[in-house]
Amino acid sequence: MSRRAGSGGGGAKAGRRHRTKPAGDGRTSRGDRFGARDLLGEAVRGLAGRPGRLALTALAVVLGIGSLTATVGFAQTGARQLEAVFNAVDAVHGVVRPAGDDFGAAGLAAPKAVLPWDADETAARLNGVEAAGLVTEIELDSPVIAAAPVHDPMAPPTRVPGVMAATPGALEAVSGVLSQGVWLTGFHEQAAQPVAVLGRDAAALLGVTRVDNQPSVFVDGRSYTVVGILDRVERASDLVSAVIVPQSTARAVFGLEAPGELQVLLALGAGPMVGEMITTALNPNDPSGFEVSMPLPPSQVRQQVTADVNSLFVVLGLVALGIGAVTIAVVTSLSVMERRGEIGLRRALGATRFDVAAQFVAESAVVGLLGGLTGAAAGVLATVGLAAVRAWTPVLDFRLVGAAALAGCVVGVLAGLVPAIRAARLEPATALQEGT
């Protein structure tokens, strides 16, 4: 009796245990569910089983993301360099010339006004002007220019350098650089000294290679002591191929009647303001007698150039990224075809359509993320490498780098959606039959 009672008590406990976890209600415990960790593990194992295909597929994304990151980096770095060059030359240089009438003697344009001899000093006093100098080309009829006082009329003709006049402030105004010696000074200008600075090309024509021994050049038989050699200029490029004398010397010797043009070095962004003031300062009675060429505000030009360059390179990067997305889609579709048997077996064992689709999407996402991370790193290295080779400052927004890596994952997900949906629609029996 007691045993039967004990058996009944054990049966009651067994019944209670059975009711606690019914055996046929179709529900699973929390530990039996296919979670995100399981999904990621299955995706990694599926990719690890085909390392060659994984590398080739990821390479397509690496090329796409790397191209996008590198091209945007190149664009930003190049735009910054272009901005620096623009600011160093065009954005800070202006020119003032006498304006011409529509009619003049012999049908030629005659100047409305002439630049005053002290135009450079007047301009230098204006706010926003860093330096100013007068530069004038001197027209001579058949000049004889040589490095020796004796001229051989039987010698074959050679190219003759030009002659130009300049004031002391012209070197800074045109952003010139001397290779040897000194530029024309205030003393040379005030005393009309017979000195000259040779442009680089003019020095080569005349055979002058050094100035420490005080060489001379002869213009129509008159001697000029060479005090310097001009290596390069940013503006008024005719100076590098000319014999340059002080403006006062040109007035006394060659009869120079008026300055040719006023070169102005400006503070960044001061072009419009100086352009409005300078003509009135030069001639209050007739400000319209001059042609003024001043740079636009740098922000407008810089933004336009940067936008154009960035747009071009972003399009190229997106094309490369699109190729990577197509590659992932094609490879994932081939994987679905090859793994029909595996898909059918998983469906037969209880995997849902969502589980099958999620696995293929996860595999594509992993491929895209790996390619995105590697491609972003490659793009950064390419940008830094180009900047190092060209001695530029690399410019790249690191938020863009993070976005590029995330974009690789997003591209992988989008590229794997269609193959994943096709895999989820496979019927278990058909998949098992086609996969065996």
Q: What is the pLDDT of residues 267-322, one digit of tens each?
A: 877 888 898 899 999 988 888 889 998 876 655 555 666 666 667 666 776 777 77
281 closest CA partner among 136, 120, 94, 112: 120
Q: Give the pair of three-digit tokens for residue 122.
A: 């007047």
**Residue 259: what pLDDT?**
94
User: Does the pLDDT value for residue 30 go beyond 50?
Assistant: no
**3-state class percentages of the chain: helix first, strand second, coil last, to nearest 5:** 60, 15, 25
Q: For the segment 374-384, what is each residue's pLDDT rounded down to a tens digit?
A: 888 888 898 88
**Residue 57: what pLDDT?**
73
Least-confidence region, from 43-52, 169-178, 190-199: 43-52
Pairing label, strands 145-146, 195-199: unpaired
C-alpha to C-alpha distances, 168 to 131, 172, 257, nearest whole angstrom: 10, 9, 19
**Is residue 102 very low, low, confident or very high in pLDDT (cuts 50, 70, 90)?**
very low
**Is residue 22 very low, low, confident or very high in pLDDT (cuts 50, 70, 90)?**
very low
CA dist 264 and 278 (Å) reads 10
Question: What percentage of the chain has pLDDT greater than the value 70?
Answer: 74
CA dist 196 and 250 (Å) reads 11
CA dist 288 and 268 (Å) reads 25
**Is residue 20 very low, low, confident or very high in pLDDT (cuts 50, 70, 90)?**
very low
Q: For the segment 45-91, what is each residue's pLDDT rounded down to a tens digit?
A: 766 666 776 777 777 778 778 877 887 787 777 767 766 665 555 57
Summarize the confidence of residues 115-126 as an average pLDDT.
93
On whether the CB atoms of residues 172 and 131 are closer than 8 A, the answer is yes
Q: Give the pair of three-digit tokens for residue 238.
A: 């005719």
**Is residue 227 very low, low, confident or very high in pLDDT (cuts 50, 70, 90)?**
very high
The whole-model pTM stands at: 0.54
For residue 374, the cross-strand partners are: none
Summarize the confidence of residues 12-41 as an average pLDDT.
49
**Residue 69: what pLDDT?**
81
CA dist 39 and 81 (Å) reads 48
Q: Give the pair of three-digit tokens for residue 246.
A: 């002080």
User: Does the pLDDT value for residue 223 go beyond 50?
Assistant: yes
Summarize the confidence of residues 374-397 as an average pLDDT.
84
Q: Give the pair of three-digit tokens for residue 435.
A: 């996969």
CA dist 308 and 5 (Å) reads 92
User: Does the pLDDT value for residue 199 go beyond 50?
Assistant: yes
DSSP string, 333-346: HHHHHHTHHHHHHH
User: Does the pLDDT value for residue 400 go beyond 80?
Assistant: no
Helix (H) or strand (E) holding 289: none
Summarize the confidence of residues 204-220 as an average pLDDT.
90
Residue whose tokens read 């098992």: 432
User: Does the pLDDT value for residue 428 go beyond 90?
Assistant: no
User: Does the pLDDT value for residue 396 go beyond 90?
Assistant: no
83 closest CA partner among 268, 312, 289, 356: 268
**Residue 170: what pLDDT?**
95
Least-confidence region, from 59-63, 246-250, 431-435: 431-435
**Residue 3: what pLDDT?**
42
Summarize the confidence of residues 127-144 as an average pLDDT.
90
User: Does the pLDDT value for residue 158 go beyond 50?
Assistant: yes
Q: Within 13 A of 202's CA, how many CA atoms are on the CB side? A: 31
Question: What percentage of the chain has pLDDT greater than the value 90?
Answer: 27
User: Does the pLDDT value for residue 106 go beyond 60?
Assistant: no
Helix (H) or strand (E) holding 61: helix 51-88
For 200, the 3-state DSSP assignment is helix
C-alpha to C-alpha distances, 379 to 70, 160, 412, nearest whole angstrom: 4, 52, 19
Where is mean pLDDT largest: 101-115, 212-226, 362-376? 212-226
**What is the gyration radius of the CA atoms in the chain, in angstroms?**
40
User: Does the pLDDT value for residue 13 go beyond 50?
Assistant: no
User: Does the pLDDT value for residue 362 go beyond 50?
Assistant: yes
Q: Give the pair of three-digit tokens for residue 93.
A: 């240089």
Q: Within 13 A of 120's CA, how many CA atoms are on the CB side? A: 26
Summarize the confidence of residues 365-377 as an average pLDDT.
86
Least-confidence region, from 92-101, 170-179, 301-310, 342-351: 301-310
Query: What integer best gives the mean pLDDT of the chain?
Result: 78
**Residue 7: what pLDDT?**
41
Least-confidence region, from 75-89, 116-130, 396-410: 75-89
Summarize the confidence of residues 120-140 as an average pLDDT.
93
